[in-house]
Amino acid sequence: MPESFSTAFRAWLAPILQRTLYRDASFFSFVSTASQDLLPLQCIPHFDSTDPNLFAAVIYLCDTRFGGTAFYRHRRTGYEEITQENLHNYQVALNSDMRVHGAPKKEYMNGDTVLFEILFASELKFNRAIVYPGRVLHAAKIARQFNSPKNKDDWRLTITALLHSA
């Protein structure tokens, strides 16, 4: 995204978060990978960073058929956030889960699974912005079976910003 967008977005968001936002990476993001082409890592919730000062923001630029963003808890550990202190334990537990249950199905994460339970979902509305700590487990709510779009009107298009606070 152009710096002018990032500067204006930080200026708008800082008073809402009651934090000073001093740096970010903002970019367009779109979903175009068919479910059958996903890697195992793309089939489970993820976190952006263990940094407690990193926030993620998503602005939805598509229609509601794509769903919003869901937030998860890892069942075995009970972790909702991955911190520097629990990262190693989470990785060990997740690797163990994969050995016991096998790799996740080649489908987008959308709802409860044997490894993760959904805690909350923010529904998609065009031009809605959501902001959350970058260390929470989350995933876009995309239909589990998703086919590659044939044209750009069928993309799940968002602006994603990773924001550091003081």
Interior CA angle at 121 toward 147 and 110, to 5°? Answer: 30
For residue 155, what pLDDT is reported? 83
Interior CA angle at 30 toward 115 and 18, to 5°? Answer: 75
- What CATH number is attached to the domain comprising 44? 2.60.120
Which pLDDT tens digit goes with each residue over 18-65?
A: 888 888 889 999 998 999 999 999 999 999 999 999 999 999 999 888
For residue 107, what pLDDT is reported? 95
For residue 151, what pLDDT is reported? 84
For residue 102, what pLDDT is reported? 94
For residue 21, what pLDDT is reported? 85
How many domains are contained in the chain?
1
CA distance 160 to 28: 6
Q: How many CB atoms lie within 10 A of CB 145?
A: 13
What string of pLDDT tens digits covers the 166 residues of the chain? 888 998 899 999 999 888 888 888 899 999 989 999 999 999 999 999 999 999 999 999 998 888 899 999 999 999 999 999 999 999 999 999 999 999 999 999 999 999 999 999 999 999 999 999 999 999 999 999 988 888 877 888 999 999 998 7
Residue 91's domain spans which residues? Answer: 3-165
* Residues forming beta bridges with residue 148, ordered by sequence position: none
For residue 149, what pLDDT is reported? 81
Q: What pTM did the predictor assign?
A: 0.91
* 46 token code pair: 């993820």
CA distance 158 to 40: 23
